[in-house]
Amino acid sequence: MDIDRLISDRAKRIDASGIRRVFELGARLKDPINLSIGQPDFPVPEPIKLAAIEAIRNNQNGYTQTQGIAPLRQKIVEHLKADVGWDVDPRPLAAADASRPGVMVASGTSGALMLAFQALLNPGDEAIIPDPYFVMYPHICTMVGATPVLCDTYPDFRLTAARVEKLITPRTKLVLLNSPSNPAGVVASNKECQELLELCRAKNVLLISDEIYDTFTYTDAREPAPNGGEPRCPSPARFPGADKDVFLIRGFGKTYGVTGWRLGYAAGPRRIIEEISKLQQYTFVCAPSALQHGAVACFDVDMSVQIADYQKRRDMVISRLSKLTEVTTPGGAFYAFVKVPERLGLMASQFIEKALEKSVLVIPGSVFSKRDTHFRLSYATDARSLERGLSALEELMG
């Protein structure tokens, strides 16, 4: 049988993840220094684990409502009220107030993004995404037949209204903001969030805010909410009326170390939530049931100690590598997007081959960008590995 003839053009247009390729190369090393993976290295807090275990023991293992279990939706609604001021209706969509934003639990933030793109984009429509970008962004456009329009954010990696405006066309349906960002860890300012929101409103374009790292924002990148209050991660969702113009996506995996649980949530205009809920019914069906009960406990767990520790790691990375090359200081997440020094005469993909010779795993920037000038370093690793990895990178750059 000619299997290749059976494979769709859609699948053929999507490359295997460059991150996975690095993992495969790393598997051949005897003692790899893994600075590549975007997965927290701290253990899942006990209350969260116990809540999931208890749910399993209590036989809460079947299908849930497509929207997610009621206790988790209620916790999300309370959190969004306190954090961004949204008056989200936690009730099932059939009983919800059509004038209020809705909420849905998804199979990870990736699941929420996939459903949103399916619900919003027709073949030929355009979605504006930052370059560099999270690896899946352009590919989900391909999956739905839409066109990813890359917004060049070099050298500071900030998705600004001025950069976005010149890319908007009659085919533009959405703009995707990722803050704190992957791969650069850059946090948008309040001013940048407000200007981007105002631009999208004026152009009748939806602003999707992917805030998977919202809790992982360091003290020097936090700003007071637009209406005052304690400093926190800037978000376009915090501005008046944003619940009608912003589709907000957040999750649990990065903040609480439960990346494998595949749990996220989306909130925003009820009409969009209705559509993605319908699509979830025929795809994911529901997010993992017992783990939803575990996620209920997340909202009562303080992660400030872990975040402060990661900020110290961030400071170590910047203090050492900034002496040798250009590296924008991350305001959140746990990545640094490091420029390969031009004096080396190497593309990033060539540089990581030399890093592999020293058993260091980092990701070439071409995985996240049309450029091959930088590499992504993850400092979500133990102190010994980070120290060894930085020493090896310093030697390569020196």
* Residues 110-121: tens digit of each pLDDT: 999 999 999 999
* Residues 301-335: tens digit of each pLDDT: 999 999 999 999 999 999 999 999 999 999 999 99
pLDDT at 28: 73
At residue 282, does pLDDT exceed 70? yes
* Residues 35-84: tens digit of each pLDDT: 998 899 999 999 999 999 999 999 999 999 999 999 999 999 999 999 99
Average pLDDT, the chain: 94
Rounded to two decimals, the pTM is 0.95
pLDDT at 20: 66
* Residues 233-281: tens digit of each pLDDT: 999 999 999 999 999 999 999 999 999 999 999 999 999 999 999 999 9
Q: What is the set of domains in the chain, with CATH numbers?
A: 3-44+303-397 (3.90.1150.10), 46-300 (3.40.640.10)
pLDDT at 19: 67
- Rounded percentage of the chain residues whose pLDDT exceeds 70: 97
Q: What is the 3-state secondary structure (H, E, C) of the chain?
A: CCHHHHCCHHHHCCCCCHHHHHHHHHCCCCCCEECCCCCCCCCCCHHHHHHHHHHHHCCCCCCCCCCCCHHHHHHHHHHHHHHHCCCCCCCCHHHCCCCCCEEEEECHHHHHHHHHHHHHCCCCCEEEEEECCCCHHHHHHHHCCCEEEEEECCCCCCCCHHHHHCCCCCCEEEEEEECCCCCCCCCCCHHHHHHHHHHHHHHCCEEEEECCCCCCECHHHCEECCCCCCEECCCHHHCCCHHHCEEEEEECHHHHCCHHHCCEEEEECHHHHHHHHHHHHCCCCCCCHHHHHHHHHHHHCCCHHHHHHHHHHHHHHHHHHCCCCCECCCCECCEEEEECCHHHCCCHHHHHHHHHHCCEECEEHHHCCCCCCEEEEECCCCHHHHHHHHHHHHHHHC
